[in-house]
Structure 1
Amino acid sequence: MSLPLPAGEFAAYLFDCDGTIVDSMPLHYIAWQRALDEWGCEFPEDLFYAWGGRPAADIIVALNERHGLTMPVATVDERRESYYQEQLPQLAAVPEVLAHIHAAHRRVPFAVVSGGTRASVTASLDALGLLDRFDVLVCADDYTRAKPDPEAFLLAAEQLGVPPGSCLVFEDTDLGIRAATAAGMASVRVPQPRDRSEV
């Protein structure tokens, strides 16, 4: 499968990380299940993908409300991240996105714009030998309003010194696409793992 880009010339590429650069969503789901099992909390796979792009803390709060639980947010999040890090040796890149990274590297600047923590994003990119490809990392701790708010994408454009309208965003979630649109940026949708074979 190839990933066609919108028409036009772009001065910068902005990439979400999980599910876009790195094929990490199945591993993240396993980590979520292991962490939540300790609290007897169910998290169906379709809901996990529907909530893609939401900060982990928000997801834990929402699951507490949904199931009438009082899981400690910070503890569950730390457990989830620990289980994810254990799986990093299994991590792979999304081939169609990796092809665009290789093709455009050094031709246009790159930024990662992620709802994940800097530690998690750095670990994922480092595991794949891709960390040095990116000029800017904008992670969860760098902004206050999560996707679909455009704040994170606008911050990345500012740090790259590129007008928002000249940026192309690679995203795998509805929240991310909405954030890119709100920022005035063109975007390309990266299919989720279970959809790629159908494209």
Structure 2
Amino acid sequence: MTLKALIFDMDGTLVHSDPVHLRAFAEVLGPEGVSIDDEVYRNTIIGRTNESIFATLLPGRPVTDHETFADLKEAAFRRLASDLKPLEGLLDLLDWADRYTVKIALVTNAPSLNASHMLDTMGLTDRFTVKITRDDVSRGKPDPLPYLTALDRLGLAADQAIAFEDSPSGMKAAKGAGLFSFGILTGLTAADMTRAGADITIPNFQSKALWDVLAKRLGTAT
């Protein structure tokens, strides 16, 4: 049960990037007559793969169109996401992990180009021992495969790591891999994330509930 790794989702977890994604979707799909607002984003987009998102938003269009619009949307996102800031408390948490030799991993449904851009923008590229993007696995979240792949590369069992997620699909993936998981409340409510399986919900990485768990799992003061 000794804590050996922290595994983070990216969008909505490392950074509150959902507003930028919403703008990118609206920019690309508005001309197609598809309206993207907060409700559509929460119910149709957050935490899902591009394959699933564009199949839902552009029904009846061929898969090749879905792929084209996904590429356009991600390019728009990277152009718009020029000033990303880590979520409150994240840098302190990463420093704490380094101090206690706890590994840090990334598991995201985002493509590798997005992951690289976002980590570079926030100055976090070198902080992660393992990075699993949608390009690295055959099935994305909510399938547990991305988390299982991260655990395999870390050389750890599920009870040696903690996951952080902000969406129901991500939480389903983390819990399906057997991970104790915090639900980050950047886009959804505590009730939403608890229903999705979160063991504990927190607004950000400054939460006392998080640091209490870390101290208990590591057997030391935070």
> Which string of whole-angstrom CA distances, capped at 9 and with x for unpartnered residues, describes residues 16-55 of structure 1?
0111112211111111100111211122312212331111
Relative CO higher for 1 or 2, CA cutoff 8 Å, sep ≥ 6?
A: 1
2:146 aligned with 1:152, yes or no?
A: yes
Counterpart for residue 110 of structure 2: 116
The separation in 1 between residues aligned to 2:165 and 2:126, in whole angstroms, is 20
Q: Could you list the runs of 5+ residues in structure 1 that have no partner in the other structure?
A: 1-7
Q: Decide whether the 8 Å contact of 1:33 with 1:43 is kept in 2.
A: yes
2:137 maps to which residue?
143
Return the match for 1:179 from 173, 178, 181: 173
**Further displaced range: 51-60 or 71-80:** 71-80
Q: 1:21 aligns with which of 3, 14, 37?
A: 14
1:58-105: CA deviation from partner (whole Å, max 9, x where unpaired): 20111122xx66692122112211111112222111113333223212
Q: Where does residue 5 of structure 1 map in the other structure? A: none
Q: 3-state DSSP class of the match of 2:174?
A: helix
3-state DSSP class of the match of 1:148? coil
1:96 maps to 2:71? no
Contact preservation (8 Å) 1:20, 1:97 = no
Where does the alignment leave 5 or more consecutive residues of structure 2 unmatched? Answer: 190-202, 208-222
Is 1:58 the counterpart of 2:52 in the alignment? yes
| Contact kept in structure 1, 2:166 and 2:188, CA below 8 Å | no
Note the aligned Cα RMSD (angstroms). Answer: 2.1
Query: Does 2:62 correspond to 1:86?
Result: no
Identity %: 29
Check conservation: 2:163, 2:179, Cα contact below 8 A: yes
Measured at CA, do residues 11 and 83 of structure 1 come closer, stay the same or move farther in structure 2, by a change above 3 Å?
Answer: same
- Residues of 2 paired with 1:72 and 1:122: CA distance? 25
| TM-score, structure 1 as length reference | 0.86
Residue 79 and residue 160 in structure 1: after superposition, are their counterparts in 2 closer, same or farther (change >3 A)?
same
Work out whether residues 22 and 37 of structure 2, in 8 Å CA contact, stay in contact via their aligned partners in 1: no
Deviations 1:170-193, CA, capped at 9 Å, x for gaps = 110111111111111101111125
Give TM-score scaled by structure 2 length: 0.78
Give yes or no for contact 1:11–1:166 (8 Å, CA) kept in 2: yes
Counterpart residue identity of residue 141, structure 2 = K
What is the letter of the counterpart of residue 139 of structure 2? R
Farther-moved stretch of structure 1 (168-177 vs 68-77):
68-77
How many residue pairs get aligned? The number is: 189
Number of the residue aligned with 2:211: none
Answering whether residue 222 of structure 2 is matched by residue 191 of structure 1, we say no
Give me the whole-angstrom Cα distance separating, in 1, the residues matched to 2:151 and 2:38. Answer: 33
Aligned CA distance change for structure 1 residues 83 and 90 (closer, same or farther; 3 Å): same
